[in-house]
Structure 1
Amino acid sequence: MSNSASAIKAAEAALDKGDYNLCIKIIDPLLLSFSTATPIGSQLRLLKVTAYMGLGDEQNAINICQTLINSKDANVRQQSKQLLSILDAPSLPRPSNWSVEIPKIEMESSLKSSSRKPKRKKKKVNHPPTGPTKNLDFGFSIITLLIISLLAFLLSGCVDISTNLSITSSNRLKISLDIDSISSKSIPWQIEFADNLAKENSVFKIQAEGNKQHFESPTIRFEEANELLQQITSVVSNTSGFNINKPELTTTNRNWIIGANQNLKIYFDLRELPKVPGLKLNLIIHGIQNKNNFKTQPLEPIFKKGLTSLPLKIGQINQLEVSYWKWNQIAVGLILIISLILISLFLQTFRLNMGFGFPELPP
């Protein structure tokens, strides 16, 4: 392990123990070697902000956060904005009626007067026996664990998740993922999901703006799209703690030279996903607008502005089947050129047969 890595570990250990001065003392020499633009430099400055907040030095913490707002890393920018919103929050004055002043009581006179009073004997009250203490049933422990897990998920906030499929050719498409928080700020689940997806070395490129996240893939084949959808589902399961079955995407392609007949089937098994208030899942398809091309269960698709939106129903199996035709532009162009040449030859032959020869010079 390098000296910088060991120093960062020591600073984190000091921060965990509450020794904020030692944490700042370890970090300060490292800041000379790592600028704000480097990932290690951003991590060190975030640790220093936490230490300043522990010491109550809010002004120095605000100054460091303001330098991290312009970082190239979207996660660093998001964390610095969240810390600034906490540091800039106004401190509300405490009303006087919230506290009770206890007057001074002269204890000597009260003790003397109490010592003169005869002591009364306390009557013993015999309570009925309650029996041996019983352990909690196993079912009670399971119900309590489920309630705590559900509350933890609900308190983290609810989101609107939309998966977009843009079909670019007969065997290629783009996948994009939009995650929008109902609250005005990004919830911890969104940040953790982006971090876990980055650890999987995914082809997605992330764009974060406020409480919205946009993940977009390059143009890929249908086989690669199936693997990418399963990767997304696996990361969502690990982040949320719910066991979600992986989706299945199957395609059949018939090539007829001038075009291709494509049949796309998608299965989303959401029976294991519990119903969470405020959670919305949607599948959006670009480029296909004919209602007759779609077969869906259990909900009907929504057609608007050139998009086809399919809301997914939690607790059931959602099925989508799309059949469409893609023209081969090169083949169509060649057929059109050959047709024009044949028509031109036919007209020329017909003109000669009618007695109209080629133009000649006068004798």
Structure 2
Amino acid sequence: MTESLEIATKEYQAGIAAFERGQYRESVDRLQKASALTTGNSRLGGKIQIWLVTAYEAAGQRTEAIALCEQLKQHPDSETSKQGKRLLYIMQAPQLKRPTEWMTQIPDLAAIADNESQVRIGSGNNKPKQPPQPEFVDLSQVNTQDNRFIWVSLIAIGLTLIGLLWIA
């Protein structure tokens, strides 16, 4: 029994690690193996099943995730039962519609072949970049009329300095 518990713990940890790397299918497989090696009513079994719900959802297996949450609502461990109810509530909540202008489109990089990206990297265009050339300003376009703001600010600064000297 302890050997299967050790294997279950290793599969559980590997499932969490796969989930954190974004490998959701592998995470589901590992967590299913870990769940099969433990009793579902134990505290560890509950933790594994909670992670399995999250992995199911991330892998796009929503119906399996909801079905497992329904089972977890009756789990003997009160913390696991609460988490199961919370996850079920979240998954059954209505999806909000977001305007398209709120969202950023991320291009699909899977269409680029691996060798194509390597060809671009090693294409031999290793010339050093030239520093950017300075832009010259056309002085005939510059407004050179007198700006009264400068004179007002200089007078204000002068009066402030005189006032400070008089107080000191």
TM tier relative to shorter chain: 0.5 to 0.7
Q: 1:93 to 1:67 in 2, by over 3 A?
A: same
1: CA distance, partners of 2:11 / 2:24: 14
Percentage of identical aligned residues: 26
Asked whether the equivalents of residues 53 and 61 of structure 1 are also in contact (C-alpha less than 8 Å), the reply is yes
1: CA distance, partners of 2:12 / 2:100: 45
Question: How far did residue 31 of structure 1 move?
Answer: 2.6
SS of equivalent residue, structure 2 residue 39: coil
Question: How far did residue 67 of structure 1 move?
Answer: 0.3
The higher relative CO (CA closer than 8 Å, separation ≥ 6) is in 2
Residue 57, structure 1, aligned to residue 71, structure 2: no
- Structure 1's unaligned 5+ residue stretches are 100-120, 126-363
- Residues matched between the structures, number: 105
Q: Which has the higher helix share?
A: 2
Residue 47, structure 1, aligned to residue 51, structure 2: yes
Can you list the C-alpha shifts for 1:187-219, whole angstroms capped at 9, x where unaligned? Answer: xxxxxxxxxxxxxxxxxxxxxxxxxxxxxxxxx
Q: What is the TM-score when the length of structure 2 is the normalising length?
A: 0.53
SS of equivalent residue, structure 1 residue 32: helix
Q: Which of 1 and 2 has greater Rg?
A: 1
Can you list the C-alpha shifts for 1:285-324, whole angstroms capped at 9, x where unaligned? Answer: xxxxxxxxxxxxxxxxxxxxxxxxxxxxxxxxxxxxxxxx
1:218-229 paired onto structure 2 within 5 Å? none
1: CA distance, partners of 2:102 / 2:17: 38
Q: Which has the higher strand share?
A: 1
- Could you tell me which of 22, 26, 32 is aligned with 2:30? 26
2: CA distance, partners of 1:11 / 1:96: 34
1: CA distance, partners of 2:23 / 2:15: 9
1: CA distance, partners of 2:138 / 2:42: 74
Asked whether the equivalents of residues 18 and 24 of structure 2 are also in contact (C-alpha less than 8 Å), the reply is yes
1:107-256 paired onto structure 2 within 5 Å? 122-123=136-137
Question: How far did residue 10 of structure 1 move?
Answer: 1.1
- Could you tell me which of 4, 10, 26 is aligned with 1:6? 10
